[in-house]
Each structure stands twice: as C-alpha cells, then as structure tokens.
Amino acid sequence: MSRAPITPITLRGAAGTLAGWEASPASVESRGTVVLVPGFTGSKEDFEGMLPLLAQAGYRAVAYDQRGQWESEGPEDVSAYTLPAFVGDLQGVLDQVSPEVPVHLVGHSFGGYVSRVAVVERPAKFRSFTLLASGPDSVSDINFPPPALVAQAVEAGGQEIIWQQLNAALAAAEPKPTPEHLEFLHQRILRTRKANIVGILNTMGESPLKDPAQLRDSGVPLLYAYGDTGDLWDPAVHERFAAELGARTAVFHGRGHVPNEDVPEQVCAELVNFWKELA
C-alpha cells in the first residue's frame, strides 16, 4: 500500500498563521480526526513518520507548529508565549479542523503540557488524549537543567545555546542522525523565535496543572506512552504518573524521548489499538 501524502495547510492562531500538515484516508471511510501537538523546539515534522500511517489506518491526521516555532508566525515579545496562549491556539486549531466532532489528541513532551490543559478546559472536544513522552512537569523528577537557568543562557546567547545542548545529546544517541537531519534540526532552532524558546522555558518553571486529578477526572480516555531508555523522565516517574492519572500505558522499550520519530510504526499501532477499543 502506498503512503498517504502529507499536505501543507495553514491554520489561524491568535498571534498569526500556524503552519500545519495534514494526511487523510484515501480509500477508506474516515474513523475520525487526530491532532498532534509538538513539544519544546519541535515542529510538525516530529510526526512526519506518523501522519501517513495514521491516514492509512483510516484517520485524518493534523499536526502543526506552535506559535513562534519553525514555520509558524509568532511575536518577538516573550510575554506572548504563556501556557494560556499556547492552549488558546490549540483550542482554535480544534475549532478549525473539527468544529463539531471530538478529536483524538496527542501531545508530545511540552505539547502534552499544552494539551492536558486544553482537555481539562473542554473535555467534550476529545474522544481520547495521549500523553507521549510527556511527564508530570519540568520542576522535579526530570533530567533537564532548571528551566530558569536555561532561559537566562538563551537570553544571553540566543538559539545557538539550545542547539549546542541538543547537538551534544544527539552525538551520544543511537542510531546517529543523518547529516541532513542534523542540519534540519539546526535550522529549525535558529528559525524558531527566541521569544518562543524563552517563553516556554519560563512556562516550564511551573506545573502545567495545579492538580493532575483534573485530567484524571475529565472523563476523557487517557493513554500514557513513553520510552524506557534515556527519556527526560525516568521510567519510574512515568509509571507513577500514569497510575496517578489512571491511564492505560504503552512502553517503547529501548527508546527515549522521541519514539514518534524513532519507532513511528509502534507508536501508531498503540494509538490505533487504543482508539479501536473506544469505538
């Protein structure tokens, strides 16, 4: 079976246009719409391997760059990059791509922070919600420097500071990224607004939800998916948080923070199995 094509789309955000990608079923009736939200320094390209697979499984799949990321517009003012601002953009995207029918939502890392708040705000908009490599918060129990210190470094040294950290981590990764992919990652960080990076780091200094029970009690079916090797959160942290949420779990053994890129087939299989059981 040929891969479903990915089509660029333009969405409206509260601070400008948002660059998106869409893949739709070609020969089968749609089973529903999936919206995928990227994380810190990420973009829609983080789901490039997943969108065609989800479309082949019968789902219309939409991913977008958050405000100030990569190809999306965004202000130069750090104050425009608050959690409520990112959540507002996501709510607007939902109203554009599926105004009447609830969607399956997938949030990767910081995208999961944004997404969980959106679910609590409007649970009726969602058929399900998947946290993908998105732990409790960035305040404790995370293998990441204090966000406030990183924000100060970026303020002083710009986006290249983040690239140096990421490049060092990629140098130790297996398998090694191709030179072409490394160049894309470098250019993506340089084109992402400095205000976006600093604003997200400022946001990461607090827990996305005051009480995780809000998400558990939303009534939206939850899947908690993560890699057990080299993620920002240790497996025990993921296990504890998933239990706290009462979420079904999917573990990608030997994988780290980006299973969506490393093993998109496995991630999509877990998602589709989860969604079929809800039908």
- What is the radius of gyration, based on Cα positions, of the chain? 17
Considering the domain boundaries, does residue 45 fall inside one? yes
Q: What is the mean pLDDT of residues 21-42?
A: 92
- Residue found under tokens 């589709």: 272
Q: Is 134 helix (H, G, I), strand (E, B) or coil?
A: coil
Considering the domain boundaries, does residue 83 fall inside one? yes
Considering the domain boundaries, does residue 25 fall inside one? yes
pLDDT of residue 165: 84
pLDDT of residue 22: 98
pLDDT band (50, 70, 90) for residue 4: confident
- Residue found under tokens 């946290």: 131
Strand-pair category, 16-23 with 59-64? antiparallel
Cα 10 to Cα 8: distance, rounded to the nearest angstrom = 7
DSSP letter (8 states) at residue 99? S
DSSP letter (8 states) at residue 101? S
Q: Which amino acid is at 52?
A: P
Per-residue pLDDT tens over the stretch 108-138: 999 999 999 999 999 999 999 999 999 999 9
Residue 28 has pLDDT above 70, yes or no: no
Considering the domain boundaries, does residue 265 fall inside one? yes
| 250 membership: H or E segment, kind and range | strand 248-252
Considering the domain boundaries, does residue 177 fall inside one? no
**Are residues 135 and 244 in contact, defined by beta-carbon separation less than 8 angstroms?**
no
pLDDT band (50, 70, 90) for residue 33: very high
Angle of helix 159-171 relative to helix 194-203, nearest 10 degrees, comes to 70
Parent domain of 233: 7-142+208-278
Cα 154 to Cα 93: distance, rounded to the nearest angstrom = 29
The beta-strand segments (E) located in 80-228 are 103-108, 126-132, 222-227
Residue 174 has pLDDT above 90, yes or no: no
Q: Is 18 helix (H, G, I), strand (E, B) or coil?
A: strand
Residue 1 has pLDDT above 60, yes or no: no
CATH number at residue 104: 3.40.50.1820
pLDDT of residue 2: 63
Considering the domain boundaries, does residue 68 fall inside one? yes
Considering the domain boundaries, does residue 31 fall inside one? yes
Residue 26 has pLDDT above 70, yes or no: yes
Q: How many domains does the chain have?
A: 1
Per-residue pLDDT tens over the stretch 219-246: 999 999 999 999 999 999 999 999 999 9
**Are residues 231 and 259 in contact, defined by beta-carbon separation less than 8 angstroms?**
no
What six digits make up the tokens of 176?
């090694």
Considering the domain boundaries, does residue 203 fall inside one? no
